[in-house]
Amino acid sequence: MAFELQFSSLFLPLLLSCYFFLPTMADDTPTAAHHALEIPVEKIKKALSDSNYFTMSMTLELALSNLIPTHGFLNNKDIKTLTIFCPSDKAFMSPNFKYVGPPLTLLRYHVAQVKLDREVLETSQLHWSKVETLLPGHPLVVTSVKGQASINDVKITHWNLYNDGHVIVHGVEDFFDPAFQTIWFPQYDGEVLVDYDKSYSMAIKKFFDPFHEQRNGSDLMLAIGLSAAGILVLFLCQLLLRLCWPRRTEDMDEYFPIETISVV
């Protein structure tokens, strides 16, 4: 029941905002050219539905045409391909996800203005680099490590749910949180390009890489590591007690009890 309430609290406002608040964009492209360049919403919807991404299938059916106007995208010489990242249905029902911004803002954050295929994301070519989205001033960050592709530290679980050369759709295990980029990569904030600070990038890399390596390692290695850490903590606690207890005993020896004096 809790999952259903969480699902309704996130999904229903998203659908309602897509239906009521997205304006219908006037398209001055000639009719013949319009049909030739039209984003295939129905094909994308079917591909997602066939892959059990039912929630995003319904969401993009309502929002995609107005979110990405045909004449504004396919006629733009600077943007030749869009990559859409679709969270699973499970992500919509997760009680751990709390996003306070408008639902459409979150949807725009999942659309990258560049071609991102599997070959590129699974290599170190784009490691720790930013990727512009339809949400101005809020890029994604590529966090792929050792063949495990991820964006904003969220794994990409299904490749090419749809791919026609102009629109690519990948499945991800959870929503992208804009706070990830804001906290860990503040130099990417805003629309003004900031010089890339290599020392800062290396510091962030050193912080995150052990977590990725541990995640991609075997469960046995993880168990051994946790056991070793637990033993070390117990050892340090015992050592601390042994060092502190004699000192406390010595301090107590300096005090003498007050003798009770009987008054006759």
210-236, pLDDT tens digit by residue?
555 555 555 566 667 777 777 887 878
Of 87, 94, 104, 106, nearest in space to 174 by CA: 87
CA–CA gap between residue 168 and residue 178 (Å, rounded): 21
For residues 84 and 26, membership in a common domain is answered with yes
Percent of the chain with pLDDT over 90: 38
The number of domains in the chain is 2
* Domain region containing 139: 2-216
Within-domain flag for 45: yes
- Per the model's pLDDT, the better-predicted residue between 19 and 233 turns out to be 233
- Per the model's pLDDT, the better-predicted residue between 190 and 56 turns out to be 56
Domain at 48, CATH number? 2.30.180.10
* 2 in Cβ contact with 91 (< 8 Å): no
For residues 16 and 147, membership in a common domain is answered with yes
For residues 159 and 174, membership in a common domain is answered with yes
Radius of gyration of the chain (CA): 27
Q: What are phi and psi of 129, to 5 degrees?
A: -95, 160
pTM for the model:
0.64
Within-domain flag for 100: yes
Does 264 have pLDDT greater than 80? no
Helix (H, G, I), strand (E, B) or coil at 187: helix
For residues 18 and 136, membership in a common domain is answered with yes
Tokens of 163: 């791919």
Tokens of 6: 């969480």
For residues 167 and 231, membership in a common domain is answered with no
Query: pLDDT (tens digit, 9 = 90+) per residue, 117-172?
Result: 999 999 877 888 999 999 999 999 999 988 799 999 999 999 999 999 999 999 99
